[in-house]
Amino acid sequence: MQTTHKAVRIHQFGGTEALSYEDAPVPTIQPDEVLVKIHASSINPVDWKVREGYLKDFIPHTFPLTLGWDFAGEVVAVGANVSDWKPGAAVYARPDIGRDGAYAEYIAVRANEIAAKPASINWQEAAAVPLVALTAWQSLYEAANIQAGERVLIHAGAGGVGTFAIQLAKLRGAYVITTTSAKNSDLVKALGADEVIDYTQSDFSTLRDIDVVFDTMGGEVQDKSWQTLKRGGRLVSIISQPSEEAAAQVGATPLFCFVQPSAAQLQSLATLIDAGKIKIIIDSVYPLKDIAAAHAKSATGRTRGKIVIQVSA
């Protein structure tokens, strides 16, 4: 087994110039962990937020830090206490964000955080799923507990989280309204959106009687979303804790979701994917050494689905 591998690490917080493609020690595993050879990873906004230091008071990291908390790959070694996994298993995961991530050829991950990769898709597609799909699942199914027939407003439906949120809301039987630009209208309709609002032309805040708002934007979008809710409605944000005061004014419930690892939910998602009930949208693919360009693209907020990182064949 090799002792070093290629990884993208940061040695201090900063811009894309802080990203260093370099040789690093292959991680060692604890008794409850597995070592995974990563085939593909993907970009999420949390990656560059961590890189820039926005979350340093929320998630205590140490340097050097390997970023990236999405991967698909192959188990190559298992810890002494691991019985569920064997070398050669194809897996995917959103691992613990407090630890080193997946912009690397290998990752040490707790065995209870991984799930079998969906059999019907390739490594790149699998790497595009975990963080955003778990975010949508935990926000809509757990926090907001959406019900069949409810009217759900999903902001930024063409984004990484949005593309999964639309599909999961439809699978639950909701009526889905989403915001996006005109060029992505056909995409979100194909994913199941019942109504599409072109945010460049129309003001979503004129909507009324919404049961659930899924806020993926924060700021002014969150502020303007309250007036769309019916009394008893819920606003769930993945950006910031929604205002209790604003919620009280409209008789709504404010909810916040910060995604957590869940092998069981990943297994449920894999079943849906293999049954053809969830589509995966990939914006673009970058090699690991070009991670800075991938971060720059993600930071524009104009991606269509997920940006994937090809790590190894």
Q: What is the DSSP string of 179-222?
A: EE-GGGHHHHHHHT-SEEEETTT--GGG---EEEEEESS-HHHH
User: In the prediction, which pLDDT does 228 show?
Assistant: 98
CATH 3.90.180.10, the chain: domain bounds: 4-129+280-310
Superfamily for the 4-129+280-310 domain: Medium-chain alcohol dehydrogenases, catalytic domain (3.90.180.10)
| Confidence at residue 153, expressed as pLDDT on a 0 to 100 scale | 98
Which pLDDT does position 5 carry in this prediction?
Answer: 97
Sort strands 175-180 and 106-110 into parallel, antiparallel or unpaired. unpaired
Position 112 scores a pLDDT of: 97
Q: What pLDDT, on a 0 to 100 scale, did the predictor assign at position 301?
A: 85
Q: Are 5 and 104 in contact (CB under 8 A)?
A: yes
Torsion sign over Cα 79, 85, 88, 92: negative
Mean predicted confidence (pLDDT) in 18-36: 98
Q: Quote the CA–CA distance of 173 and 51 in Å, as a whole number.
A: 38
Ramachandran category for residue 276: left, alpha or beta (phi over 0 → left; psi -120 to 50 → alpha):
left
**Three-state secondary-structure class, residue 37:** strand
Q: What is the pLDDT of residues 133-192, one digit of tens each?
A: 999 999 999 999 999 999 999 999 999 999 999 999 999 999 999 999 999 999 999 999
Asked if the model's pLDDT at residue 111 lies above 80, the reply is yes
pLDDT above 90 (res 290): yes
Topology at the third CATH level for domain 132-256? Rossmann fold (3.40.50)
- Residues 282 and 124: their CA atoms lie apart, in Å, by 8
Q: What CA–CA distance (Å, rounded) separates 158 from 154?
A: 10
Kindly provide the b/e burial profile for residues 167-186, where b requires at least 16 CB atoms within 10 angstroms of the residue's own CB: bbbbebebbbbbbbeeebbe
Phi, psi of 285 (to 5 degrees): -130, 130
**Has residue 29 got a pLDDT over 90?**
yes
Q: Which residues, 6+ apart, have CB-to-CB distance to 80 below 8 Å?
A: 31
Q: What is the pLDDT of residue 142?
A: 98
Among residues of the chain, what percentage have pLDDT more than 70?
100
**CA-derived radius of gyration, the chain:** 19
CA distance 217 to 236: 11
**The pLDDT of residue 144:** 98
Look up the pTM and report it.
0.97
The confidence band for 302, taking pLDDT boundaries of 50, 70 and 90, is confident
| Confidence check: pLDDT of 313 > 90 | no
* Cα-based angle 214, 304, 97 (whole degrees, multiple of 5): 65
DSSP state of 247: H
